[in-house]
Amino acid sequence: MPSFGDMKFQARNALRGNWKTVLLVAILYDLISALAFGIVGSQIEVKTRADAVFTAIVLLVLAVWFLAATHLLLTVAIQVGHAQFYLNLVDCGMVSVPVLFEYFRDWWTVARAMGLRFLRISLWGLLFVVPGIIAAYDYALVPYILADEPTLSAGEALRQSKLMMYGHRRQLFMLQLSFVGWYLLSFLTCGFVLLGTSVYTKSTIAIFYRNLPLPKKGTLAH
C-alpha cells in the first residue's frame, strides 16, 4: 500500500488537466443529491404536521430514516456512477459526464446491494454508535465494487467490501482525517475551496481502493 503522500500525489496528477470536468460532475452530483433530499424532505414536513400525535423523538427518527432510505433509492445509480467516474479518473485520466448515469441500466442490481448496505449500517447505528461507524467503514467500498462488477449479488458486494477493508479500516479513517486541514481552510474561506477539497479527497480514496488486495477466489461464496 502506498503512503498517504504517494496516493495524494497520484490524485493530483490524475486531476491535472481534468479539473473542469471533475468540478462539473461534482456540482451535478451535489445538485441531484440536494434535489432528492428536497423532494423527500418536503413530503416528510407535510406528514409531520398531520401526525402530530406521535412523540417528537419517534417521529424524528422515522422521518430521518425514511428520508435517507428514499434518497438512496432515488440516487443509488448516481452514487455508483460517481464511484466509476473517479475510478476512470485515477485509472487512465479519462473523465466523462455521462458515466454518472451509466448504472441506471443496472438499477435493480445496484439498488439491492446499496439498500442492504444502508440497512446494515443504520441498524448497527441504531444499536450503538461505534458498531455503526465500524459497519460504515466495513461497507465503504460497496459503490466502487459495484462500479467494477455490477453483476455481483448484494451479499457478494458487501462481503467483498468487508474482506477488503479487514485490517484497513483505521487506514481509511486516517486517510480521511489527513484532509482535515483542507476542510478547515474551506471553512475559513467560507467554502471557497470546499468543492476542490471534496474532489481531491474522493480521487485519493479511489486510489486507496485500487491499492487494496482483492479477496481470494471462492471467499465471496462463504
Hey, where are the domains in the chain?
Answer: 4-212
CA–CA dist 10, 12 (Å, integer): 5
pLDDT at 199: 95
pLDDT tens profile 47-60:
445 445 445 565 55
79 neighbors 143 (Cβ within 8 angstroms): yes
What sections of 103-192 are H helices per DSSP?
107-127, 129-138, 142-148, 154-165, 169-177, 180-188
Entry pTM: 0.84
pLDDT tens profile 119-168:
899 889 888 889 999 999 999 999 999 999 988 999 999 999 999 999 99
CA–CA dist 20, 31 (Å, integer): 17
pLDDT at 19: 93
116 in helix, strand or coil?
Answer: helix
149 neighbors 109 (Cβ within 8 angstroms): no
CA–CA dist 176, 205 (Å, integer): 8
CA–CA dist 96, 25 (Å, integer): 8
For residues 218 and 172, the model is more confident at 172
What's the mean per-residue pLDDT of the chain? 85
Tally the residues of the chain: 222
pLDDT tier at 221 (50, 70, 90 boundaries)?
low
28 neighbors 99 (Cβ within 8 angstroms): no
